[in-house]
A and B are shown apart, each in its own frame.
Chain A
């Protein structure tokens, strides 16, 4: 898996012939797509948690959202660089997807403060799941709202990717797959790390009490 990931990642830059700005595009958009999917998947896992009451779903939901948030920082940074390159400003309100993303980011940034403000672990997991579901439903609605409110000054990024010539589209897809794989890999690392830590903690508790 790691080999495939590395290959894919390095293959993409080789294909690039355009300027730096286009390269950012290949990072920014896939990062955004993957992280938004991550948020929504986090919401779906939260539904599974509430229905099955299995805490493992909550752990997966947390990791998905946490990772998406980290990717989200990258999205906003690359988006800002792209805006600077394309339109001369570090931030533009006229790009609906960027604006929508900011709002979604601000929402999910409250996920961790919410979790840490609840002491009872069972309640924390439950409330976090409720939040993840509400926020997950919010993502598409928010994009719709912002899109409606923004004058169509600039081509929609997702729409424009369909108009890409063959080689660019290929690079874009490769990049998308690479980042999705990166996301999945990092998530599984974090899951394993968390599980190990939990296991260690419960073992030491048992030993400590014995």
Chain B
């Protein structure tokens, strides 16, 4: 499903991602740990096709990036730090817009609005909703097109425990989707992971199956 071989992504002369290699099978969950600036967001953005790899081999959904990026888009869902929604428009309008981009009909929009419990306030501009609600709308946007691969950048920030349970079928382990998520919490992160990636200053200092990783190793990344 995902194969990375010596992936490099630069920012100017600095290497934001340096020689990162890993593989992830379909249905598995990869959890990425690392301090801020380690390259977690960059990695997710490369996998989502938003950033092109500067060198190395990147295979996502059996397609090579960047050449076949067009074939991967539409099958990948990204939930980033930004909700990627227009604040002046309502949840419904935003989702309808994305539905049209992905050639989906409005029934799907209603389905997802219900799944994230936003149907009641679906017509209010997003700027008048709380952060948690906006995050739920973003989750709806990211899963609207039923992606095979989910890329989640600290997805549970801004969500209270009920909300986390609410969105679990969409983005949690039980969604059955292949997932890559970044996390700062070793306990919950490890619990969900099949494979663990530890990043520090762009380098993959830790790539192991979840069962073999110890808490100290993750804590060590942050020192």
Which residues of A are at the interface with B, using a C-beta cutoff of 8 A? 120-122, 201-202, 205
Contacts and interface: CB of A to CB of B under 8 A. Distances in A.
A120 B12 contact: yes
Interface string B1-43: 0000000001111000000000000000000000000000000
A122 B12 CA distance: 7
Contact of B11 (A120, A201, A202): A120
B12 A202 contact: no
Contacts of B11: 120
A201 B13 CA distance: 10
Interface in B61-113: none
A122 B14 CA distance: 12
B13 A202 contact: yes
Nearest to A53: B52
Interface residues of B, number: 4
B13 A122 contact: no
Contacts of A121: 12-13
B215 to A, nearest CB: 30
A143 B212 CA distance: 70
B12 to A, nearest CB: 5
A181 B12 CA distance: 34
A120 B10 CA distance: 10
A201 B14 CA distance: 12
Contacts of A201: 13
B10 A205 contact: no
9 contacts: A120-B11, A120-B12, A121-B12, A121-B13, A122-B10, A122-B12, A201-B13, A202-B13, A205-B13
* From A121, A201, A202, residue with most partner B Cβ within 10 Å: A121
Nearest to B11: A120
Contacts of B13: 121, 201-202, 205
Nearest to A205: B13
B222 to A, nearest CB: 21
A202 B13 CA distance: 8
A141 B10 CA distance: 38
Nearest to B14: A205
Given A122-B10, A201-B13, A205-B13, 6 more contacts: A120-B11, A120-B12, A121-B12, A121-B13, A122-B12, A202-B13
Contacts of A205: 13
Contacts of B12: 120-122
A58 B39 CA distance: 27
Contacts of A202: 13
A151 to B, nearest CB: 51
